[in-house]
């Protein structure tokens, strides 16, 4: 195992934040309606909003994608809610970095990478099978968005939303939208049994105008679907983080070995095996948190105890960021 002093800056700092700031506050965050903005400010101050930014904008010194994922796991082991909200940001950074819209890149990339601008994500409604729940219609000077994005986390903690709408020809239209309520953009808060402080809402667009200057790109839905399986690694680290905390609290050497094996499986998976690897990570989180509850006995169900919080968080990780292949692999694992 690498000594802490030899770890990349980003990983060392993630461990410090997780252990010294996030984990001590995790129970209080769990019981609140909105996580403290000071948590996100700290991540910005230490350069973590640049996790997915081009190297010249990052100070994290992470050598490869595996270490990027390890940062997510480490932060999630301290506070899943904070890490989850922050994790939604990186798609906007990548969009601003890769866009052909040079004016948008100029306006957004550096502020997003520095965390002066913070973004949420609203994509599922346009990309899932069946009719688009968020539609995009080309009009003079831009697009109109219509429909409901059922799950959007970080409302009130972000100033920008990275949104996908789908047009009548099944092309996805990607935009950076101001996260501000108006006559054409409204939100409905959702009460959650886990990560409630993520401030997750349903966002409704009603002929919401997005100027062309805010469009980061377009892509045929089918092309997006082909690429999607290769992008599923990232969220697996949220489950690894929850598992890691439960395992540390139980002290189980057997589960610690399984954590390493499960991380290894995620790290080497290709699009064909990734659903299995993601399912294995969610299943491990559930088992590790259940093992912690059993080892703690009745006090595990007292409010404020880590065990009951972690079990609820593991339940959330059974369904968040899922895909049909992940769901069927998990169903098989849970109903052998
Ligand atoms: C608490 C919570 C917070 C969430 N926050 C966000 C958020 O901030 N931004 C956000 O975009 N989503 C968010 N989600 C949505 C989440 O990504 C989807 O719920 C998840 O992908 C799985 O959807 P589902 O199982 O509910 O499937 P359903 O919504 O029932 O979807 C049906 C089908 O669509 C597929 N599908 C659903 N979402 C996607 C997707 N994103 N890409 C490809 N296929 C998809 C499913 O695999 C399934 O086959 C959140 C979900 C929860 C529970």
Distance CA 8, CA 61 (A): 6
* pLDDT given for residue 110 in this prediction: 98
For the CA of 121, the closest atom of ligand 1 is 9
Q: Which of 123, 147, 151, 174 to mutate to test the pocket of ligand 1 (most atoms within 8 A of CB)?
A: 151
Residue 216 sits at the vertex; the CA angle it makes with 213 and 222, to the nearest 5 degrees, is 140
* pLDDT given for residue 4 in this prediction: 60
Q: How confident is the model at residue 5 (pLDDT cuts 50, 70, 90)?
A: low
Is residue 229's pLDDT more than 90? no
DSSP per residue over 1-37, as a string?
Answer: ---GGGS-HHHHHHHHHIIIIIHHHHHHHHTSSS--H
Q: Which of 35, 86, 124 to mutate to test the pocket of ligand 1 (most atoms within 8 A of CB)?
A: 124
Expressed in angstroms and rounded, the spacing between residue 322 Cα and the centre of ligand 1 is 6
Question: Which residue has a Cα nearest atom 10 of ligand 1?
Answer: 122
Joined tokens for residue 234? 């990232």
Q: Phi-psi category of 155—alpha, beta or left, where left has phi over 0 and alpha has psi -120 to 50? A: beta
Residue range 91-107, pLDDT digits in tens = 999 999 999 999 999 99
Look at the alpha carbons of 323, 325, 329, 331 in this order and tell me if their dihedral is positive or negative: positive
For the CA of 323, the closest atom of ligand 1 is 47
Distance CA 56, CA 239 (A): 30
Of the listed ranges 19-23, 162-166, 231-235, the one predicted with least confidence: 231-235
Q: How confident is the model at residue 8 (pLDDT cuts 50, 70, 90)?
A: confident
For the CA of 154, the closest atom of ligand 1 is 8
- H helices then E strands: how many in the chain? 14, 8
Q: Are 154 and 178 in contact (CB under 8 A)?
A: no
* pLDDT given for residue 1 in this prediction: 46
Average model confidence (pLDDT) across the chain: 96
| Rounded average pLDDT over 274-297 | 98
Expressed in angstroms and rounded, the spacing between residue 106 Cα and the centre of ligand 1 is 31
Q: Phi-psi category of 53—alpha, beta or left, where left has phi over 0 and alpha has psi -120 to 50? A: beta
Which residues, including other chains, have CB under 8 Å from residue 87's CB and lie 6 or more apart? 72, 234, 235, 238
Measured between alpha carbons, how far apart are the two ends of the chain, in Å? 35
Residue range 52-88, pLDDT digits in tens = 999 999 999 999 999 999 999 999 999 999 999 999 9
Query: Using a 6 Å CB cutoff, which residues line ligand 1?
Result: 88, 120-124, 127-129, 151-153, 192, 195, 200, 228, 319-324
Residue range 21-54, pLDDT digits in tens = 999 999 999 999 999 999 999 999 999 999 999 9
* pLDDT given for residue 3 in this prediction: 58
* pLDDT given for residue 287 in this prediction: 98
* pLDDT given for residue 295 in this prediction: 97
Rg of the chain, C-alpha, whole Å: 20
Domains of the chain by residue range:
4-87, 119-220, 232-334
* pLDDT given for residue 76 in this prediction: 98
Distance CA 232, CA 8 (A): 24
Percent of the chain with pLDDT over 70: 99
Joined tokens for residue 36? 């403290």
Q: Are 92 and 160 in contact (CB under 8 A)?
A: yes
CATH code of 4-87, in short, is 1.10.540.10
Q: Residue with structure tokens 């461990």? A: 15
Distance CA 272, CA 130 (A): 23
Q: Are 70 and 225 in contact (CB under 8 A)?
A: no
SS3 state of residue 286:
helix
Q: Which of 30, 84, 128, 278 to mutate to test the pocket of ligand 1 (most atoms within 8 A of CB)?
A: 128
The structure's pTM equals 0.95
Q: What CATH class is the domain 119-220?
A: mainly beta
Expressed in angstroms and rounded, the spacing between residue 134 Cα and the centre of ligand 1 is 13
Distance CA 149, CA 125 (A): 5
State the number of CA atoms in the 13 A half-sphere of 206 facing the CB.
8
Q: How confident is the model at residue 2 (pLDDT cuts 50, 70, 90)?
A: low
Q: Residue with structure tokens 């499986």? A: 265
Residue range 301-335, pLDDT digits in tens = 999 999 999 999 999 999 999 999 999 999 999 99
* pLDDT given for residue 133 in this prediction: 95
Distance CA 146, CA 165 (A): 8
Question: Which residue has a Cα nearest atom 21 of ligand 1?
Answer: 321
Please determine whether the domains at 4-87 and 119-220 fall in the same fold group of CATH: no
| Rounded average pLDDT over 276-284 | 98
């Amino acid at each position: 195992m690498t000594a802490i002093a030899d770890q990349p800056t980003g990983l060392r700092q993630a461990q410090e934040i997780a252990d010294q700031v996030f984990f001590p506050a995790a129970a209080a965050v769990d019981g609140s309606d909105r996580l403290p903005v000071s948590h996100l400010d700290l991540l910005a101050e230490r350069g973590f909003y640049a996790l997915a930014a081009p190297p010249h904008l990052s100070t994290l010194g992470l050598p490869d994608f595996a270490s990027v994922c390890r940062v997510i796991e480490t932060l999630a082991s301290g506070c899943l809610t904070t890490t989850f909200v922050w994790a939604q940001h990186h798609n906007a950074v990548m969009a601003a970095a890769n866009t052909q819209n040079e004016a948008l890149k100029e306006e957004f990339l550096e502020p997003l990478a520095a965390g002066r601008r913070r973004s949420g994500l609203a994509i599922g409604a346009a990309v899932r099978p069946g009719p688009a729940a968020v539609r995009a219609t080309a009009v003079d000077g831009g697009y109109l968005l219509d429909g409901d994005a059922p799950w959007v986390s970080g409302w009130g903690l972000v100033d920008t939303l990275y949104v996908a709408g789908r047009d009548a020809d099944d092309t996805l239209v990607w935009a950076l939208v101001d996260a501000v309520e108006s006559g054409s953009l409204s939100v409905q808060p959702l009460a959650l049994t886990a990560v409630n402080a993520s401030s997750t809402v349903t966002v409704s667009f009603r002929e919401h105008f997005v100027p062309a200057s805010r469009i980061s790109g377009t892509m045929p839905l089918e092309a997006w679907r082909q690429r999607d399986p290769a992008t599923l690694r990232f969220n697996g680290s949220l489950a690894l983080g929850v598992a890691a905390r439960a395992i540390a609290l139980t002290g189980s050497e057997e589960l610690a070995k399984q954590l390493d094996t499960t991380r290894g499986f995620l790290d080497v998976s290709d699009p064909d095996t990734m659903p299995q690897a993601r399912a294995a990570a969610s299943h491990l989180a559930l088992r590790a948190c259940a093992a912690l509850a059993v080892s703690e006995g009745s006090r595990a169900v007292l409010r404020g105890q880590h065990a009951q919080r972690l079990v609820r968080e593991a339940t959330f990780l059974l369904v968040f960021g899922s895909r049909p292949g992940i769901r069927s692999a998990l169903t098989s694992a849970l109903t052998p």
